[in-house]
């Protein structure tokens, strides 16, 4: 019996939902102004259904303390029973919704996260490498069972600043080092900062450093694509 060519077509739909905090800048620069945006992914301890938990660490904590930023900040909350690496479709859909409903400068979309959020940042950026102007993973890692760290080479043209504490026993330094090494091998635009005297909390000093935000706002992505999923 001969093999016969066939074709298949289907429409697959997926329901996703996330609750989130949204920070908008106080300065009103007119209806034509478009804002940069930062997507912040929290760590394991802030999962659940209480958005107040997000204010314990990272950028939401700094905003709660009175800091004004010249960009929007979207801080979603991961459900209790999962991790960010399993919520890539939901995060992408959330960003898509924000872009549709707010005046966003799509050449300046930035991604950052700590611990589980650092892992999520590596994973989301690798899935959509044409979406972000810069990525800042803090004490992150990526799962070798799905092709990492080798797969991270897709970010070789994306500016990356990674941070980790040398004394981190929760997420060992190797989690970031392996990913950074792949980018360096592929001539990637990456800078890796290791705090020699810091354990798991390598995010407080990182997010409290104004130079990080100055650097972020200098990065632009003129090849923005919303639908570039590779994973």
CATH number of the domain to which 26 belongs: 3.40.50.1820
Which of these, 105, 113, 157, lies nearest to 137 by C-alpha position?
A: 113
162 burial (CB, 10 Å; 0-12 / 13-18 / 19+) is buried
How open is the CA angle 101-43-50, to the nearest 5 degrees?
Answer: 65
Pairwise CA distance, residues 69 & 25, whole Å: 6
Q: Is residue 10 part of a domain?
A: no
Q: Is residue 1 part of a domain?
A: no
For the chain, 231 residues long, the average pLDDT of each consecutive 10-residue run is: 81 88 83 91 97 97 96 97 96 96 96 98 95 98 84 95 98 96 96 97 98 98 81 59
Q: Is residue 13 part of a domain?
A: no
Q: Is residue 7 part of a domain?
A: no
How open is the CA angle 102-91-68, to the nearest 5 degrees?
Answer: 50
pLDDT recorded at residue 219: 98
Please tell me the pTM assigned to this model.
0.93
First vs last Cα of the chain: how many Å apart? 37
Q: Is residue 178 part of a domain?
A: yes
Q: Is residue 169 part of a domain?
A: yes
Q: Is residue 45 part of a domain?
A: yes
Structure tokens at 191: 């800078």
pLDDT recorded at residue 105: 97
Domain that holds residue 112: 19-218
Q: Is residue 128 part of a domain?
A: yes
Structure tokens at 13: 């739909």
pLDDT recorded at residue 154: 95
Structurally, how many domains does the chain consist of? 1
- Where b means 16+ CB within 10 Å and e means fewer, 113-126 reads bbbbbbbbbbbbbb
């Amino acid at each position: 019996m001969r093999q016969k060519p066939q074709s298949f077509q289907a429409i697959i739909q997926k329901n996703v939902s996330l609750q989130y905090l949204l920070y908008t800048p106080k300065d009103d620069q007119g209806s034509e102004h478009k804002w940069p945006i930062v997507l912040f992914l929290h760590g394991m301890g802030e999962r659940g259904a209480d958005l107040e938990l997000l204010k314990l660490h990272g950028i939401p904590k700094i905003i709660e303390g009175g800091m004004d930023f010249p960009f929007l900040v979207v801080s979603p909350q991961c459900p209790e029973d999962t991790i960010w690496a399993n919520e890539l479709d939901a995060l992408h859909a959330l960003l898509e919704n924000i872009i549709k409903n707010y005046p966003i400068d799509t050449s300046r979309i930035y991604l950052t996260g700590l611990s589980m959020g650092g892992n999520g940042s590596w994973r989301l950026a690798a899935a959509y490498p044409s979406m972000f102007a810069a990525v800042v993973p803090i004490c992150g890692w990526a799962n070798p069972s799905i092709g990492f760290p080798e797969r991270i080479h897709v970010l070789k043209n994306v500016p990356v600043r990674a941070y980790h504490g040398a004394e981190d026993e929760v997420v060992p330094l190797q989690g970031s080092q392996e990913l950074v090494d792949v980018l360096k091998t592929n001539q990637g635009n990456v800078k890796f900062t290791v705090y020699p005297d810091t354990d798991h909390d390598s995010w407080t000093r990182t997010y409290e450093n104004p130079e990080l935000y100055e650097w972020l706002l200098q990065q632009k992505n003129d090849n923005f694509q919303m639908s570039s999923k590779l994973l």
